[in-house]
Structure 1
Amino acid sequence: MAAPRGSRSKAASAAAPIATEERPLDKARRASLSLTGHQASLAAFRNAFTTGRLHHAWLLTGPEGIGKAALAFRMARILLNGEDEASSAGRQVTAGSHPDLLAIGRSYDEKKQRFRGEIVADEIRPIGAFLHRTAAEGGWRVVLVDNVDAMNRNAANALLKVLEEPPNRAILLLTCATPGRLLPTIRSRCRTLTVPPLDEASVRAVLMREASDAEPSEIERVLPLAQGSPGRAIALLADKGGALAGVAQEALAGMSVARMLDLAEGISRSDVGFPLFFTLLANALASATRQAGRLEESAALAERWTNVGRIRSETERFNLDKQEAVIEALSVAGGR
């Protein structure tokens, strides 16, 4: 069903996220030079490196938006002697041109103007050839795969073949927000490095650097909502004044079909607005579940929370229509 024409509501307009030209992997390369927080995780990796107990595959797990990819690039810099930004290796890592570093993430669909929902096998297969060639600088060969939980089954099987027969002086750095989506055989072949959320001071420091044009009052507004995730905080800044958070609360009370159609158009426009909406909606449902006075009401809200999570997961994993997913989630949240 097509959304009605005409002017959209303020909430729908505010829900439309701010576009950025910088790709996530390129942003992570740059952020790895001035990594904020994650010192304990970095120290664990550095200790394994210096003591000669370096596992051939590392699985960095933690919530979305906390800087796992930036941490992985910093780990790559350690291996490739590129921590000094002014060094030849440092400049190459930043520019994405280091011959011994292969970085893979969800690719961008130019036609649809959005990142694809999954990583496919054709994007994983080149890893084998890359790791079996001689390192150009005579040292380590490093593969970084961001969001490995976005791999489809064929891609996962292709990665598993690499993990089963790792070559010497080759390291895989994998980031993941939902390790439960991975094949158990992949998880078992990696050393898991749990990356915790940042403290509030570190999130504030990232925002001061990455969102320097944001109003101080807006930064203070989103900090307690960010849950230790700078990425989440930056997305919340795009929701000026908390309009999208208000939509999440409104959805729980139920809304008309016309209202849902109007909101869905703005929310579904990009990779930022969509996950932010679902996160805020899930949080609103979780909060309502905890505050419910009767067991039956609590159970019903918990079921809505589960269904909203399923809608998001299936939409992102199978690249389904985001506008339809938003409409369905608004309907589910309101108890329809």
Structure 2
Amino acid sequence: MTDPAALDGLPLPEQRHAAIGHDAARAAILQQLAEHRLPGAFLVHGPQGIGKATFAFEMAAAILLATGDETPERVLEQVVALSHPNLFVLRRRAKDAKSYYTAIRVEDVRELRDALHHTRGRAGHRIAILDSIDDCNPSAANALLKTLEEPPADTTFFLISHRPGQLLPTIKSRCHIIALRPLAESEVARVVSTDLPELTGESLDRALALAGGRPRRAFETLALGEDTALGALISWLRDPLAVPPGAMLPLAETIGADPQGPDMSFAREILLDWLADEARNAAIDQTSRLRLASATELWDKANALLGEADSVNLDMKQTLVVLFDAIRKHRQATALPIEPE
């Protein structure tokens, strides 16, 4: 079973052995395991790309080892291969050789439920990982709720969510909530350096600066060359005053050409992350009230523009032009004066 969200050339979550960071959450679950009081389900949530699935597989291996009768090497080997009889993983299924279903379907959840009610193939606890529960369509979510209401004995679910606010309240009420946060920059650097040990210098710094505590974002950023539209956007955000305003028009036209496409989706994340960082840094900077007021106004304006474009189907290219202009004006208004020599 493959992961439809996998990045080319990088290990899958089950292949990473252990997550970097998230020490408090790890300690809490291991304490519950040691005290034999594991809940029926954990809801592991947080921003996408911070290692939630890797963390879930690490905890699954720890539980399988503590409750089973096999060596650590054997358990880890089976988790990596997704071949442990007591480990069940549910992701969006392959539709054909080239594509995946757009959602986890009710039949997928029922198949998981039936498998969990069969006689177990090995001693110990059983683990079911849904990566992610956000992918469940409404029928699948309702079927999952019924399973959580009457869970099989000695079974723990790890439900991974990037958007817990959109989940059924009744599902959340059945789970022990584990909130994972973005990693420190040093931790993101460890993840990136583990997979790409040859990466150093400006390329690494650029990836870390755009990662926002999410290793996945760092890897996605590295895949963007300077000659791509998204690469040009990232370069421009480093210094919005470095190019004349008219130079951003072709960029807006390229990125906004497909409002629902992957480039536009990634561009929105990049822009909103930059705006959030700008507001955060302005709040820390006690020397400039103007910068904080401008950054806050810019954040509100950006969200209003993008929300309006979504709700009434406005031209996303024009929306980006307005947003780029607003970012440039913000930088002009808050730029530090040049000190005389």
Q: Given the two structures, how large is their TM-score scaled by the length of structure 1?
A: 0.74
The answer (yes or no) to whether the contact 1:200–1:228 under 8 Å persists in 2 is yes
Report what 1:281 is aligned to.
271
Inter-partner Cα distance in structure 1 for 2:33 and 2:267: 40
SS of the residue corresponding to residue 98 of structure 1 reads coil
Give unpaired runs (5+ residues) of structure 1: 1-17, 312-324
Give me the TM-score of the superposition, normalised by structure 2.
Answer: 0.73
- Other-structure match for 1:162: 147
Name which of 167, 171, 181 aligns with 1:196: 181
Residue 315 of structure 1 is matched in structure 2 by: none
Task: Decide whether the 8 Å contact of 2:275 with 2:298 is kept in 1.
Answer: no
Query: Structure 1's 307 and 172: CA in aligned 2 closer, same or farther, altered over 3 A?
Result: farther
Indicate if the aligned counterparts of 1:222 and 1:233 stay in contact, CA closer than 8 A. Answer: yes
**Which residue of the partner structure matches residue 114 of structure 2?**
129
Q: Secondary structure at the match of 2:199?
A: coil
- Write out aligned runs for 1:102-113 (5 A): 102-110=88-96, 113=98
For the residues of structure 2 that align with 1:224 and 1:238, how far apart are their CA atoms?
15
| Residue 46 of structure 1, aligned match among 21, 30, 35 | 30
- Tell whether the 8 Å contact from 1:254 to 1:335 is kept in structure 2 after alignment: no
Q: CA deviation at 1:85?
A: 8.5
Q: What residue in structure 1 maps to residue 166 of structure 2? A: 181
Q: Which residue in 1 is equivalent to 2:232?
A: 243
Per-residue CA distance 1:183-207 (angstroms, 9 max, x = gap): 0000000000111211111110100
Deviates more, 1:223-232 or 1:55-64: 223-232
Letter of the structure 1 residue corresponding to residue 12 of structure 2: K
Q: Distance in 1 between matches of 2:198 and 2:321?
A: 36
Residue 43 of structure 1 aligns with an amino acid whose one-letter code is A
Q: CA RMSD in A?
A: 3.6
Using the TM superposition, give the Cα deviation of residue 293 of structure 1 relative to its aligned residue in structure 2, in angstroms.
4.8
Give the Å deviation of 1:177: 1.2
User: Where does structure 2 lack aligned partners over 5 or more consecutive residues?
Assistant: 1-5, 283-290, 324-341
Number of aligned residues: 295
Q: Is the 8 A contact 1:285 1:305 kept in 2?
A: no
CA distance in 1, matches of 2:104, 2:264: 19
> 1:330 and 1:210, CA in 2 relative to 1: closer, same or farther beyond 3 A?
farther
5 Å matches for 1:57-76?
Answer: 57-76=41-60
Call closer, same or farther: CA 1:40–1:255 in 2, change over 3 Å: same
Paired position in structure 1 for 2:302: 301
2:87 corresponds in structure 1 to 101
CA shift at 1:298, angstroms? 6.8
Instruction: Report how far residue 136 of structure 1 moved.
Output: 1.0
**Contact 1:197/1:228 (8 A) holds in 2:** yes
CA gap of 1:297–1:245, structure 2 versus 1, over 3 A, is closer
Q: CA deviation at 1:329?
A: 3.6
Shift of 1:80: 1.1
Residue-by-residue CA offset, 1:133-189 (whole Å, 9 max, x unaligned): 222112112100012122211111111111110121011011111100100000000
Aligned AA (1:92): Q
Shift of 1:265: 7.2
Return the alpha-carbon distance in structure 1 between the equivalents of residues 50 and 296 of structure 2: 35
Give the letter for the 1:98 counterpart: H
Contact 2:252/2:320, CA 8 A, preserved across alignment: no
Q: Is the 8 A contact 1:147 1:175 kept in 2?
A: yes
Output one character per residue of 1:196-222: Cα deviation in whole Å (capped at 9) or x when no partner.
211111110100012334343211122
SS in 2 for 1:43: helix
Larger deviation, residues 218-227 vs 255-264: 255-264
For residues 69 and 117 of structure 1, the distance between their equivalents in structure 2, rounded to whole angstroms, comes to 19
> Structure 1 residues 306 and 80 mapped into 2: Cα distance closer, same or farther (>3 Å)?
same
**Identity over aligned residues, as a percent?**
29
Closer, same or farther in 2 for the Cα pair 1:76/1:243, shift >3 Å? same
CA contact (8 A) 2:91 2:132 kept: yes
Cα distance in 2, alignment partners of residues 211 and 59 from structure 1: 31
